[in-house]
A and B are shown apart, each in its own frame.
Chain A
Amino acid sequence: MTAPAIELKGISKAFGPVQANKDIAIRVMPGTIHGIIGENGAGKSTLMSILYGFYKADAGEIFINGKKTEIPDSQAAIKAGIGMVFQHFKLVQNFTVLENVILGAEDGRMLKPSLAKARGVLKHLAKEYELNVDPDARIEDLSVGHQQRVEILKALYREADILILDEPTGVLTPAEADHLFRILEGLRAQGKTIILITHKLREIMEITDTVSVMRRGEMTATVKTAETTPEQLAELMVGRKVLLRVDKTPATPGRAVLEIDNLSLTDDAGVARLKGISLTVHAGEILGIAGVSGNGQSELLKVLGGYAPAATGSIKVNGTPIDLTGKNSDGQSRRARGIAHVPEDRQHEGLILQYSAWENTVFGYHRDPGWQNGILMDNAAIRTEAAAKMERYDVRPPNPNLAARNFSGGNQQKIVLAREIERDPDVLLIGQPTRGVDIGAIEFIHQQIVALRDSGKAILLVSVELDEIFSLSDRIAVMFDGQIMGERMPDDTDQTELGLLMAGVTEMPKDKPLIAAVDAQLEAKAEKAAQQNG
């Protein structure tokens, strides 16, 4: 039997009293794709950081190809043949692909020979693994999918045999993700070993050979992917049975509550972020906005939430227009108009992390007369109410005095949800409701959103998770480059069609394969951008 490409024995790592990794053992066989799945904070990233030399394990041993190896820093990891593709790319934006690839791996003082060598290697890699990227393009002109390929190329250029990818599909369209998986399959065919870290069950099922599940710092199971089911994996991750599907009845949309007409927004740098958006959300309906992040969804939420610069067009709530000049409006006036907002970024917008939970339960509503006691704030009343809210929304631990940063992502989100939903708004804006939220809490949050819809509220949902869009939305609009590419009913469409819309492809290709069509469109866009910049 061949030695495993990676074998970890008894790896433990503690940060203060938090045991991030506890006695982890794992064997990754060469030439396989090995998935590591677990909730946020389960210890996946810590484990990989140990393997890549960012952290030093408190205890345990690492074997690479059967040989005991010390990895004190990332240089050692690279030398041992390990390459890492981070979730947030580490590329120099205004360097070309070639320059990025050789960065840190130059052969000498002069760049020219290295660049020439890299050009040759890249050409070879592109042919072998379908890793096509223009070596002279600047990173800033490349699509996210192409940037990720550059990261992979960087690792391969350093002759990595073991490739670790940390949540690689978080920023990709479904088509780009498919392409990535094809690349990974190609790499596997060439004998490379791949570790894929993800929290998406679907990806695990689709591409991995073996999957290890982590929970609370421990490796709870390693199973053959072919012999398991998503339900079983979810249960292993959470530690109890989980409902993966959202239970919901068909919507009964009423009158139009939120009407957006020809909304456009140009940001401070003069870039058009929203280009003539028109949408209507009815009472008792969830309108899902699908799209790759960065295509204007955030700006749309900010305009609706009242904290974006001046926009043009019109937005009506219950038939009355709201102010878009950005001067006479702010988050306060929007709330007064019955718009509640669960922002995409709860850590930087929805919550003050240093504030206690009770202080956060009135954040944005802190000027309400109910919370005042003369010139002072009625902290006692707020605290009491906060405790009750936390109880109703199952926030754990149910301690209103604890600072928001000490709650897990899911419980933080419940605090925000409790605050916004309990105000009984007419419209709920909700961005990335379950980003960074553990599976157990996702179930609860989805139920709350559906319950709010059933009580006749209009809900605008923005999510980059297509699964979430499908399971919650009563109607789906797809955003690309600040525009609505189309609206679909969830029953009349599928991931492929939405994926193409998300990439800006409105005409279904007939003769060409899907991915090639997407690539062609993306390249055309990148070229246009390059011309504009040049």
Chain B
Amino acid sequence: MDRMPAWADAILVPLFSIVLAAILSAGVILAIGESPVEAFKLMVDGALMRSSGWGYTLYYATNFIFTGLAVSIAFHARMFNIGGEGQAMIGGLGVALVCLFIPWPHWSLALLGATVGAALFGAAWAYIPALLQAKRGSHIVITTIMFNFIAAAVLNYVLVNMLRPTGAMEPATARFPEATFLPTFQDMFATADNPLFRGAPANVTFFIALLACVAVWILIWRTRLGYEIRAFGHSETAARYAGISPVKITVVAMLISGGLAGMMALNTTMGEAERLVLNATEGAGFIGIAVALMGRSHPVGVLLAALLFGFLYQGGAELALWTNIPRELITVIQALVILFTGALDNMVRVPLEKLFLAIRRSPKSAG
């Protein structure tokens, strides 16, 4: 066989890509007159060495897991859902409505209700581009990008004109009722003499994200729907032959994708802000694309990639705080990671593959 082993493909290739991105980033840091070693230390220190750092890293990772899974599902049906950002924004609206207008007795029930609200709103926002793609052939990349802008405008309108408490100056909803506050990691793990995760925003939603990983794995590889989604993604002509409806799969896959993207709002809106603000998504919808690319659209890969990006986000914030390295540099580093893992995938894969084949052939020719 002319391929390298699966483990090398899944682990070595992304690993090399990250290393390459790191080397280039180090060059950039050097160029602005800072020490890359110090910077890296600081990032690791701030993101991983203290429990509060972890609290931020996992908080960001939670967002990226949801949006990464959302993009992955669409990838499996060979669609590029760039609308995670907009779907998450509208998902936030769903969360806000559920939290504000339903009197919840306990946070656990509220979380359940908000999950449904977030998923439904996110899915609804993905439904229109999906339908346009399935019925009219309007390219989903174009329509989902445009829907991001529409979502931002809709959210702005709703916040300013409908949900803003009278007298408030900020385009945001009122604070959610206390019964809907989600337990943070601090609430869950800190004890009197061991104050873990102090002030960190990571919350119970992280576990929902882990559950989502499992659910997506089952959906894609163990259910009939997943079988049909993958079949459609690999070959539309074959799907037609088998009697799998392209319209149905396009729409259903996008509904699930939009729902997952929408669920990201649980973390930001319900878990952290405890109200809906205008820019709650902070670009996590786009990071989801990088996460899905890097994680090979596999839930485990998505989880790992989300953790990496969570680290980059939190580490980047630390850099901005303690050094002269601007926060924007972290965007550069992230972009490099995306460039190497996504766009320049073959640059790493092809030489690696050759290396593996050479290794494999040499014992044969020797023996």
Contacts and interface: CB of A to CB of B under 8 A. Distances in A.
Contacts of A331: 240-244
A307 B243 contact: yes
Interface stretch (B36-44, B144-152, B217-225): B217-225
A307 B231 CA distance: 16
Contact of B231 (A348, A352, A377): A352
B222 A376 contact: yes
Contact of B227 (A15, A366, A375): A366
Contacts of B1: 17, 406
A376 B226 CA distance: 10
Nearest to A382: B227
Interface stretch (A80-88, A353-361, A465-473): A353-361
A352 B238 contact: yes
A306 B238 contact: no
Nearest to B231: A352
Given A15-B2, A355-B231, A377 B224 contact: yes
Contacts of B357: 16-17
A37 B86 CA distance: 59
Interface stretch (A116-124, A127-135, A189-197, A333-341): A333-341
B346 interface: no
A343 B239 CA distance: 12
Contact of A343 (B222, B234, B241, B243): B241
Given A334-B243, A366-B224, A379-B222, A17 B360 contact: yes
A366 B360 CA distance: 37
A349 interface: yes
A363 B242 contact: yes
A375 B226 CA distance: 11
Contacts of A349: 235, 237-238, 240-241
Interface string A308-332: 0000000000000000000000111
A377 B243 contact: no
A367 B231 CA distance: 13
Interface string A474-518: 000000000000000000000000000000000000000000000
Contact of A376 (B223, B235, B240): B223
B227 A17 contact: no
A359 B227 CA distance: 9
Which 5 pairs from chain A and chain B are nearest by CB? A331-B243, A332-B243, A16-B2, A364-B242, A330-B243
Contact of B241 (A15, A333, A341, A376): A341
A16 B358 CA distance: 8
A267 interface: no
Given A335-B243, A363-B238, A379-B222, 12 more contacts: A16-B2, A17-B1, A17-B360, A330-B240, A350-B238, A350-B241, A364-B242, A372-B224, A376-B222, A376-B223, A377-B227, A406-B1
19 contacts: A17-B2, A306-B243, A307-B240, A307-B241, A331-B244, A341-B241, A350-B241, A352-B230, A352-B231, A352-B234, A352-B238, A354-B234, A355-B230, A363-B242, A364-B241, A366-B224, A366-B228, A376-B223, A377-B223
Nearest to B361: A17
A420 to B, nearest CB: 11
Contacts of B245: 330
Interface in B43-97: none
Interface of B: 1-2, 218, 222-224, 227-228, 230-231, 234-235, 237-238, 240-245, 357, 360-361
Interface size bucket, A side?
35 or more
Given A17-B361, A376-B218, A367 B241 contact: no
Interface string A1-40: 0000000000000011110000000000000000000000
B218 A305 contact: no
A291 B223 CA distance: 42
B243 A353 contact: no
B222 A377 contact: yes
Contacts of A350: 238, 241
Contacts of B218: 376
Nearest to B2: A16
Contacts of A343: 241
A353 B235 CA distance: 9
Nearest to B237: A348
A490 B230 CA distance: 44
A442 to B, nearest CB: 23
A403 B22 CA distance: 35
Contacts of A359: 227
A391 interface: no
A353 B2 contact: no
A406 B241 CA distance: 21
B223 A363 contact: no
Nearest to B218: A376
A364 B222 contact: no
Given A17-B2, A348-B235, A363-B231, A305 B241 contact: yes
B223 A352 contact: no
A439 interface: no
A180 to B, nearest CB: 31
A15 B361 CA distance: 12
A376 B231 CA distance: 16
A107 interface: no
B359 to A, nearest CB: 11
A204 interface: no
A352 B244 CA distance: 13
A306 B244 CA distance: 11
Nearest to A333: B243
A306 to B, nearest CB: 7
A262 B107 CA distance: 67
Nearest to B353: A16
A238 B227 CA distance: 37
Nearest to B221: A379
A136 interface: no
Interface string A277-310: 0000000000000000000000000000111000
B234 A355 contact: yes
A206 interface: no
B2 A375 contact: no
Nearest to B236: A348
A366 B228 CA distance: 9
Contacts of B222: 376-377, 379
A55 to B, nearest CB: 15
Nearest to A331: B243
A231 interface: no
Nearest to A351: B238
A333 B245 CA distance: 12
A349 B237 CA distance: 6
Contacts of B2: 15-18
Interface in A206-252: none
A278 B360 CA distance: 58
B339 to A, nearest CB: 26
B86 to A, nearest CB: 31
A406 to B, nearest CB: 7
A345 interface: yes
Contacts of A305: 241
A534 B245 CA distance: 38
Point out which of B224, B238, B357 has the most chain A C-beta atoms below 10 A from its C-beta.
B238
Contacts of B240: 307, 330-331, 349
B336 to A, nearest CB: 30
A354 B297 CA distance: 15
